[in-house]
Structure 1
């Protein structure tokens, strides 16, 4: 993995906070002219440091007010089961994140749905699709903090 220099870290930090910034604004904030700044952004994209630029919506305002963290215990750890599971969960749009875990659960899913009835439908779809040893659901009551921006050091070399 190539280490990012201070200017690249500043560019990434600015874009994580607000991807709607103009090239001129980003260049000004990181101390570059526009052309070198644009070349750096392009390199960050082509090397996979920046994977996409998106708008972040308030889930409550768009009808996805229930967040559920779902722990899955697999019945076995075969490559076939993992592949089938990955295909299934990535095809469900309400599944926002999926992690393969170490510890008591094998997978952790963050699910966003409008209400309990929608979660029940998702739960049935999940458990009917393939064998699962155990499913544990934890319902978020309130989101106290949330960000998609990693805390990149933009003050040192």
Structure 2
């Protein structure tokens, strides 16, 4: 069970995983060693799944985001396995979500430019048969959270 200090520690780490333990400790009114033990416990208990580095997409040449809505003609186990393999084989595909409703999947793709979408499209359709694909170019990121709310834990 998490307490308010644990939740605050998780929020601070989500905002900046490189924040020194001494700063985190000061923010939650703990000693550095007590705070360090809490962070270790949060990792051991699985609240902290992993630590990542967020790259500046413009500096690494991937400023463009395209979302693709997919409808499939099949939901058989072998097709699903093949679909999972296909999307995992394309590094520009950074997220895939299975949906309820009229569409089956939404795919988030990061690209150097819009024209490169055709390269990714051809890679994907050469690996898996899809009923329908519609691409939507992101014009602006209005909100991109640096983590998830911690008040539900």
Q: Deviations over 1:69-111 (max 9, x none)?
A: 1111122111221122112212221111111111111111111
Structure 1 residue 13 corresponds to structure 2 residue 5: no
Structure 1 residue 86 corresponds to structure 2 residue 84: yes
C-alpha displacement of 1:152: 3.0
Q: How many correspondences in the alignment?
A: 152
C-alpha displacement of 1:149: 1.9
* Aligned residue number for residue 122 of structure 1: 120
* Aligned residue number for residue 149 of structure 1: 147
TM-score, structure 1 normalization: 0.88
C-alpha displacement of 1:21: 0.4
| Ranges in structure 1 where 5+ consecutive residues have no aligned partner | none
| 1-structure distance, mates of 2:3, 2:143 | 29
Q: Deviations over 1:5-58 (max 9, x none)?
A: 211111100001111101111111112112222222122222221122222223
Moved >6 Å (runs of 4+): none
| 2-structure distance, mates of 1:24, 1:74 | 51
| 1-structure distance, mates of 2:107, 2:2 | 31
C-alpha displacement of 1:153: 3.8
Query: In structure 2, do the counterparts of structure 1 residues 81 and 46 end up closer, same or farther at CA, with 3 Å as the change threshold?
Result: farther
TM-score, structure 2 normalization: 0.90
| Ranges in structure 2 where 5+ consecutive residues have no aligned partner | none
Structure 1 residue 34 corresponds to structure 2 residue 32: yes
- Alignment RMSD (CA, Å): 1.7
